[in-house]
């Protein structure tokens, strides 16, 4: 048996979005959290990390130290302000910049999303390092569950993901569901796919004083508070929460005096086409007086949002995992979510929250009321939510990734020895 390969330096590729950006708007979301949290923990384990991302704003410094041991490199590849749909035309330029900036080489390359994955293939060849890839979302899966108004993923992405399924040394997925999708839809090899669930920052996202959180946010202490946190786009379906809110008020008009529905996030994806669409919907539904829109936030400020809420809605049409669901539960807030992608793993149905099969307004109103308006059930789910979230940590994720890198590197060494 060969000794486990030693991993001292990791190149992390995230072409279209940077771990330095605020999650919850534009292209920044769960992937940003994933890259930032795992990179910090790699460094804490003595592993040097360089994150390569495209320079998407003018005057960005070429190199930024995110934390000691983690360097973010802004690689020029096309005009800074470039539409995401035009990014595939800049992959080769980005890949060249990555390879040139990383001339000292790395023990492993971890690419995130298909754009960075294509550059990762070039880096793998140049540095003779194993390539580990995480898709985060898959085009074929998204196209099978499109929301109204959402554009299908292009053929170039489908072909790029198929290429990665063949070329990457390891494909890391969040759940066994995603593993089956890779094997079935992309013909990935069973031994190539590793399931490593993402985590939650259990030091930041903790139960706290709900009344104090509400006071901090300017909410009445006795309010009924359902919340949505995330990017504002059809895929994430924040409109489902607004329609359910309107249904609850139609059923019980007196609830209007106490209801405050929070929507925390910014426009993203096709949501950028009509950034005020959700606000207009609130007006059309006659609930603008009870809906409060807040800008995206992270860390302690985001934890206070979760603590202030009675229930967090995650009504996505497609979701590879659902970090928002984990964060909310870690704060002791039950979740109502659609039973898609990784959400049946992130949420314990009937225990830490409720999973719904579709987006029928009446069902969502029932689910939200069943948690927010039932103090006894909510308290039980709150305690269970904390226990459920505690099963997931970034430390466990990082340990799994380091083992995956080492295994891929060892396989690479073995392959080279056999052909020499």
Each residue of 324-336: pLDDT tens digit?
999 999 999 999 9
137-54-6 Cα angle (round to 5): 75
Residue 30 marked ligand-binding:
yes
Q: Which range in 57-61, 86-90, 352-356, 411-415 is most confidently predicted, on average pLDDT?
A: 352-356
- If you write DSSP's letter for every residue of 77-121 in order, what string do you get? -S-SS--GGGGGGGHHHHHHHHHHHTTT--SEEEEEHHHHHHHHH
Output the CA torsion sign for 360, 362, 365, 371. negative
Residue 16 marked ligand-binding:
yes
Distance CA 99, CA 13 (A): 11
pTM: predicted TM-score of the whole model, two decimal places: 0.89
Residue 28 marked ligand-binding:
yes
Closest CA to 223 of 311, 340, 149: 311
Extract the tokens encoding 273. 């086409």
123: enclosing H helix or E strand: helix 113-127
Residue 32 marked ligand-binding:
yes
Measured between its terminal Cα atoms, the distance across the chain in Å is: 19
Residue 4 marked ligand-binding:
no
Is the domain spanning 9-199+393-413 CATH 3.20.20.70? The answer is no
Residue 297 marked ligand-binding:
yes
pLDDT band, very low/low/confident/very high, at 417 (cuts 50, 70, 90): very low
Residue 124 marked ligand-binding:
no
pLDDT at 28: 66
Secondary structure class of 366 (helix, strand, coil): helix
Distance CA 46, CA 70 (A): 10
* Superfamily holding 210-389: Glycogen Phosphorylase B; (3.40.50.2000)
Residues shown for the chain: 420
pLDDT at 416: 37
Residue 153 marked ligand-binding:
no
Q: In this structure, what are the phi and psi dihedrals at residue 417, rounded to the nearest 5 degrees?
A: -65, -40
Residue 306 marked ligand-binding:
yes
Residue 27 marked ligand-binding:
yes
Residue listed under structure tokens 């990665």: 164
Torsion angle of C-alpha atoms 207, 213, 217, 220, degrees rounded to 10: 120
Residue 157 marked ligand-binding:
yes
Distance CA 143, CA 85 (A): 16
pLDDT one-digit tens code per residue, 271-310: 455 668 899 999 999 999 999 999 999 999 999 999 999 9
Rg for the chain, CA atoms, rounded: 22
320 or 198: whose pLDDT is higher? 198
Residue 175 marked ligand-binding:
no
Question: Other CB atoms closer than 10 Å to residue 311's CB: what's the count?
Answer: 26
pLDDT band, very low/low/confident/very high, at 267 (cuts 50, 70, 90): confident
Residue 54 marked ligand-binding:
no
**46 pLDDT exceeds 70?**
yes
Which residues are within 8 A (CB) of 396 and not within 5 positions of it... i.e. 6 or more apart? Answer: 197, 199
Helical H segments across 298-357, by residue range: 299-308, 323-330, 343-346
Residue listed under structure tokens 């669409």: 277
Are 265 and 230 in contact by the 8 Å Cβ rule? The answer is yes
Residue 407 marked ligand-binding:
no
Percent of the chain clearing pLDDT 90 (strictly above): 80
Extract the tokens encoding 388. 């459920």
Residue 236 marked ligand-binding:
yes
- Cβ neighbourhood burial of 148 (10 Å; 0-12, 13-18, 19+): exposed
Residue 286 marked ligand-binding:
no
* Sheet with 63-67, side-by-side order of all strands: 63-67, 70-75, 48-54, 9-13, 108-112, 131-134, 170-173, 193-195
Residue 38 marked ligand-binding:
no
Secondary structure class of 62 (helix, strand, coil): coil
Whether 9-199+393-413 and 210-389 share one fold: the answer is yes
Q: What are the domain boundaries of the chain?
A: 9-199+393-413, 210-389
pLDDT band, very low/low/confident/very high, at 184 (cuts 50, 70, 90): very high
Output the CA torsion sign for 29, 293, 347, 214. positive
pLDDT one-digit tens code per residue, 124-149: 999 999 999 999 989 999 899 887 77
154-157-161 Cα angle (round to 5): 150
Residue 110 marked ligand-binding:
no
pLDDT band, very low/low/confident/very high, at 250 (cuts 50, 70, 90): very high
Residue 34 marked ligand-binding:
no
Q: How far is CA 232 from the centre of its chain?
A: 14
- Helix and strand numbers (H, E) in the chain are 15, 14
Residue 408 marked ligand-binding:
no
């Amino acid at each position: 048996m060969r000794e486990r390969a030693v991993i001292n330096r990791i190149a992390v590729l995230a072409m279209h979005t940077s771990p330095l950006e605020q999650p919850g708007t534009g292209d920044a979301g769960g992937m940003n959290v994933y890259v930032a949290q795992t990179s910090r923990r790699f460094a804490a384990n003595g592993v040097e990390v360089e994150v390569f991302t495209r320079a998407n704003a003018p005057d960005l410094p070429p190199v930024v130290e995110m934390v000691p041991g983690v360097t973010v490199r802004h690689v020029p590849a096309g005009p800074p302000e470039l539409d995401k749909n035009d990014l595939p035309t800049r992959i080769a330029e980005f890949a060249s910049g990555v390879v040139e900036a990383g001339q000292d080489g790395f023990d492993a390359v971890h690419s995130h999303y298909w754009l960075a994955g294509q550059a990762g293939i070039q880096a793998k060849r140049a540095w003779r390092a194993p390539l580990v890839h995480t898709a985060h979302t898959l085009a074929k899966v998204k196209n099978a569950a499109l929301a109204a108004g959402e554009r299908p993923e292009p053929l170039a992405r489908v072909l790029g993901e198929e290429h990665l399924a063949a070329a990457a040394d390891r494909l890391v997925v969040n759940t066994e569901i995603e593993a089956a999708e890779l094997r079935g839809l992309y013909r990935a090899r069973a031994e190539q796919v590793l399931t490593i669930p993402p985590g939650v920052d259990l030091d930041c996202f903790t139960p706290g004083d709900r009344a104090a959180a509400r006071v901090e946010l300017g909410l009445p202490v006795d309010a009924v508070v359902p919340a949505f946190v995330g990017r504002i786009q059809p895929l994430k379906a924040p409109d489902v929460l607004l329609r359910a809110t309107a249904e609850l008020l139609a059923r019980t008009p007196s609830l209007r005096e106490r209801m405050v529905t929070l929507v925390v996030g910014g426009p993203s994806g096709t949501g950028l086409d009509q950034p005020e669409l959700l606000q207009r919907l609130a007006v059309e539904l006659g609930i603008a007086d009870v809906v409060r829109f807040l800008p995206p936030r992270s860390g302690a400020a985001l934890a206070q949002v979760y603590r202030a809420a009675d229930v967090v809605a995650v009504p996505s049409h497609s979701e590879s995992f659902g970090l928002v669901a984990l964060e909310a539960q870690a704060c002791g807030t039950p979740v109502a979510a659609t039973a898609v992608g990784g959400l049946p793993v992130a949420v314990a149905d009937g225990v830490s929250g409720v999973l719904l099969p579709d987006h029928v307004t009446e069902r969502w109103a029932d689910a939200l009321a069943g948690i927010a308006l039932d103090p006894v059930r909510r308290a039980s789910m709150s305690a269970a939510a904390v226990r459920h979230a505690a099963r997931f940590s970034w430390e466990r994720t990082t340990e799994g990734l380091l083992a995956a890198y080492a295994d891929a590197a060892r396989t690479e060494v073995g392959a080279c020895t056999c052909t020499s």
